[in-house]
Amino acid sequence: MCFGFWVSVVTDNHNMANIVTTGSFYPMILLCGLVWPLEAQPPILRFISMCLPFTITISSLRDVMKKGWSLEHVQVLYGIGVCFLWIFLLYISLLSVFLVKRKR
């Protein structure tokens, strides 16, 4: 949701928002491990995938669903932490872009 708010502040019109959202969200979904497994990706793409916001979060969700892990496991906490970190970063950038546009 923070990503959507950020796109709405950064872009000027509806068409540009659709282009930015599709151009950034679709590769994130393809590379996070849902469509193309991380084990089958080349090393450089695997590194890029690990920098995306969904990859670690989805792998920890997969551990919770398949292995029955709880919050006691570090992998699950790491996935939750990465999710909150991305939310925080997008929120900070949203605020800064909003303030810059407001000053104009």
Comparing 43-52, 63-72, 93-102, the range with the smallest average pLDDT is: 93-102
Give yes or no for residue 103 having a pLDDT over 70: no
SS3 assignment for the chain: CHHHHHHHHHCCCHHHHHHHHHHHHHHHHHHCCCCCCHHHCCHHHHHHHHCCCCHHHHHHHHHHHHHCCCCCCHHHHHHHHHHHHHHHHHHHHHHHHHHHHHHC
The more confident residue out of 98 and 14 is 14
For the segment 33-65, what is each residue's pLDDT rounded down to a tens digit?
Answer: 888 888 999 999 999 998 888 888 888 988 899
Range of the domain at 93: 2-103
What is the predicted pLDDT for the residue at 104?
64
The number of distinct structural domains making up the chain is: 1
State the pTM of this model: 0.71
